[in-house]
Structure 1
Amino acid sequence: MTSEPAPEGSEDHPDDDPINDYERLTAPADGVPDVVDTPEGLAACVAALAAGTGPVAVDAERASGYRYGQRAYLIQLRRAGSGTWLVDPIPFDDLTDLDAALADAEWVLHAATQDIPCLADVGMRPRRLFDTELGARLAGLPRVGLSAVLEYYLGITLAKEHSAVDWSTRPLPEPWLLYAALDVELLVALRDRMERDLLEQGKAEWARQEFEALTTFTGPPGPDDPDAWRRTSGLHRLRSARQLAALRELWLARDAIARERDVSTVRVLPDATLVDLAHRLPRQASALPSARPERSRSRQRRAEQGLLRHQRTWLTAIRTAVELPEDELPAPARRDAPPPPRAWADRDPEAAERLVQVREALAGLSARVDVPVENLMSPDTVRRVLWRPPQDRSVAGVDAACAELGARAWQRELVVPLLVASLDPPG
């Protein structure tokens, strides 16, 4: 499949009609609605959406890179019979009334894993959903961004000028609201065309299983998780328990600053600089700057400003780590996951051989069914089974191991035979 319009006379385009030029959608058909930010407005929104029919298109805008955490700063909804609604969640304690109004509706989202956690934070969670980004992957589209998928199925391209703005800005500028409304304008129509394509390809059941699994998706643990600091990018550079302790203290100090100022943690100090401090353990202010520059000028400038503005905080965190008794140092991370594939040949040549064999088989399967390899089965699941195979290496035993790791039935039906073929004969 391609994302280009079909040539005239082609019968392969999912719309069945030749589309030679993409139509650019620049404004919602019904105009840009007012933002809902009062109890009265929310009550009207809830009533209208409850009275609507069919699936409801849902999207959320965050202020990633600007504000602390991943909360939603605008929620967009559109449903037949009720129109489009733009809800500001900030003035409300929660949106559970809105969630209740949509309890029986199928939610249509694009890249649902990005929005489900922040929607759950305000009391909204889909019971049924259709993810047009994941659906596009299963349908074999080479590009799965919303604009690309709309181009393929509807021959329409969206203006995307405001995707990376600070959505915590108040009041929200009119052009941003227009962009936000466009994101849900055609989601339900897109869902219908995509469902037809998945049915024709024999993949509708695959999609149903994937979408059902997403209804219980929670996302990664939040910053209050005691091991959240272990997800710092670049942590693998740290070898000693003392360095890990320094990273933990520095991470906690940075998180406290970011939380108090309500800014993104990377705006306080980038991860790379945090890891560099933990690695070097400087004890004086003059030694805080590193000879290792950040990846971009903006990150480098941010790092320099963060080191200078909070230098006493960083030095205190490092001193705390240096002075910790040995029995209070953090333990190394649990190594229940397989090592990086590049290390398999040295540590377990037989496992490395299995991995090469399965990778080749998965590439062939991906080409045959027109689904990306990573969607056939989670690479982590594949590696875990191949690194430490189950005691029962039969189809049933491997199937059970994959199911325990979260693989869906359709994935196991396709992939388990490839895994079993790479293992030693049972018994």
Structure 2
Amino acid sequence: MGKESACYQHAEQPVAESHHHVIDTREAYLAATAALAAGNGPVGVDAERASGFTYSQRAYLIQIYRRGAGTFLFDPPPIGNFSELNDALADAEWVLHAASQDLACLREVGLDPAHIFDTELAARLLGIPRVGLGTVVEELLGIHLAKEHSAANWSTRPLPESWLVYAALDVELLPDLRDRMVDLLVESDKTDIADQEFAATLAKEAKAARIDPWRRLAGIHSLHGQRNLAVARELWLARDEFARDVDVSPGRLVPDASLLAAARVLPATRQALADLREFSGRASRTELERWWAAIERGRTATDLPALKAISDTLPPPRAWADRNPEADVRYRAARAALQTVTDELEIPLENLLTPDYLRRVSWSPPEPADTASVGQALSVLGARRWQIDVTAQLIADAFVEIPQTADPISDLKS
């Protein structure tokens, strides 16, 4: 069940080993829910997935700590739905590190906080150079927190005790870290900024399904024929379906490079595919019939894909000087103006304003490009009120001042 543990040490002293029980029954889960409801103060929350090992992004361990209750480690698959725990903690502030990485898998099991404190985001707003949990904990609390199991396969059962100790420490320190950060945010007059950022993190919608996700194949740009692309598409779709069925990361079954090699060569027979040296992986030979069927579908497809993907993504700024020189000048001038504010506020540029927002208003500025119209454009894109207050006038002024420069492109590049 729960543990009121503090098995970490200051400086470089070793972590004390102690047994951690993983809750994997509804009875134990409901008892833990009652204990957490009776605790006090904010709730430290973390989730461990098996990214790179499994197809799904589900949580394979959920860790929760609350003062007066202790630490609880939950095994989500056998427990199923966590709605009772969500209701019990509805009024509490949930403390997470890099909340945007965990919210989706928490919501998948019914855990959906109403209020959060994101210690990773707070670290950015406070100007802390390195924002990993271990680094921030050491800097602000003086405690060394080892992170050796962060990339482990958390779908492993049973979970090793050393992994459980690591997982427990992640949440046991979060309330103390949150308290220290609250004081620092007050001292730096950034409490309102942090509140807006936390609310935006909670409100952010999941990304829409990508069009032609098969184009994510690493190296897809090296295929120049529509037929080759059709075969690559069918191989990717076949691998994705198989990976979902067996819950294994697609790249662990057959690497991207193997799919591309087959799409590039277009083997004429099943044996030719089997003889392809580059076609390797856990399932390349055992599932040969599957891959050959995909190749045949691609070889006979009539709905050939376009050579280039349809996308509203802007070109990278390094290409703007040739493709849209006026936008390049606007972008460079506005970025330079914002950089002065980042130094003053000690907030990284990417947190002062989402880089894509700056690129989009620079590429297609509103008319007229004044403070109000730039602010409105940023708001439509998703900028927070504090970001608009700080950046809109600077961006508008930078756009207006550009024509006064005799040779702006040369001046900005010099």
TM-score interval, smaller chain: 0.7 to 0.9
- 1:406 positional shift: 0.8
Residues 393 and 423, structure 1, Cα contact 8 Å, conserved in 2: yes
SS in 1 for 2:73: strand
The residue aligned with 1:383 is: 359
The residue aligned with 1:417 is: 393
Correspondence 1:348 to 2:324: yes
- 1:337 positional shift: 2.3
- 1:269 positional shift: 2.1
Correspondence 1:322 to 2:309: no
Separation (CA, whole Å) in 2 of partners of 1:349 and 1:175: 56
Give the letter for the 2:290 counterpart.
T
- 1:421 positional shift: 2.3
Q: Which moved more, 1:116-125 or 1:257-266?
A: 257-266
Gaps of 5+ in 2: 1-9, 403-414
How do 1:192-271 residues align onto structure 2 when only pairs under 5 Å count? Answer: 192-221=179-208, 227-271=212-256
Separation (CA, whole Å) in 2 of partners of 1:289 and 1:256: 24
The residue aligned with 1:399 is: 375
- 1:368 positional shift: 2.0
Separation (CA, whole Å) in 2 of partners of 1:241 and 1:411: 44
Identity over aligned pairs, percent: 49
Question: Which 4+ stretches in 1 moved above 6 angstroms?
Answer: 288-291
Separation (CA, whole Å) in 1 of partners of 2:274 and 2:197: 48
The residue aligned with 1:75 is: 62
Equivalent residue for 2:315, pick from 333, 336, 339: 339
CA RMSD of aligned residues (A): 2.6
Question: After superposition, what is the alpha-carbon deviation per residue over 1:234-285, rounded to whole angstroms, capped at 9, x for unaligned?
Answer: 4444455444433331221111221222211110123344345445544445
SS in 2 for 1:79: strand
Question: After superposition, what is the alpha-carbon deviation per residue over 1:355-381, rounded to whole angstroms, capped at 9, x for unaligned?
Answer: 222232233322222111111111111
Residues 24 and 159, structure 1, Cα contact 8 Å, conserved in 2: no
The residue aligned with 1:47 is: 34
Residues 56 and 106, structure 1, Cα contact 8 Å, conserved in 2: yes
Question: After superposition, what is the alpha-carbon deviation per residue over 1:188-214, rounded to whole angstroms, capped at 9, x for unaligned?
Answer: 000010111111111111111110011
TM-score by length of 1: 0.84
Separation (CA, whole Å) in 2 of partners of 1:384 and 1:316: 43
Give the letter for the 1:76 counterpart.
Q
- 1:336 positional shift: 1.8
Separation (CA, whole Å) in 2 of partners of 1:132 and 1:140: 12
- 1:418 positional shift: 2.7
Separation (CA, whole Å) in 2 of partners of 1:398 and 1:272: 44
Give the letter for the 1:357 counterpart.
A
Separation (CA, whole Å) in 1 of partners of 2:35 and 2:80: 21
How do 1:59-138 residues align onto structure 2 when only pairs under 5 Å count? Answer: 59-138=46-125
Residues 38 and 68, structure 2, Cα contact 8 Å, conserved in 1: yes
SS in 2 for 1:423: helix
Separation (CA, whole Å) in 2 of partners of 1:402 and 1:240: 40
Give the letter for the 1:123 counterpart.
G
Separation (CA, whole Å) in 1 of partners of 2:228 and 2:316: 22
- 1:289 positional shift: 7.9
The residue aligned with 2:408 is: none
Question: After superposition, what is the alpha-carbon deviation per residue over 1:30-88, rounded to whole angstroms, capped at 9, x for unaligned?
Answer: x5441111111011011111121111000001111111211100000001111110010
Give the letter for the 1:203 counterpart.
K
Give the letter for the 1:421 counterpart.
D
Correspondence 1:374 to 2:359: no
Separation (CA, whole Å) in 1 of partners of 2:212 and 2:83: 30
Residues 25 and 157, structure 1, Cα contact 8 Å, conserved in 2: no
Give the letter for the 1:133 counterpart.
E
Residues 74 and 86, structure 1, Cα contact 8 Å, conserved in 2: yes
Correspondence 1:144 to 2:131: yes
Separation (CA, whole Å) in 2 of partners of 1:27 and 1:289: 54
The residue aligned with 2:15 is: 26
Gaps of 5+ in 1: 1-20, 294-301
TM-score by length of 2: 0.87
Report the count of equivalent residues. Answer: 392
Residues 36 and 88, structure 1, Cα contact 8 Å, conserved in 2: yes
SS in 2 for 1:56: strand
Residues 179/393 of structure 1: CA separation in 2 closer, same or farther (3 Å cut): same
Q: Which moved more, 1:38-47 or 1:339-348?
A: 339-348
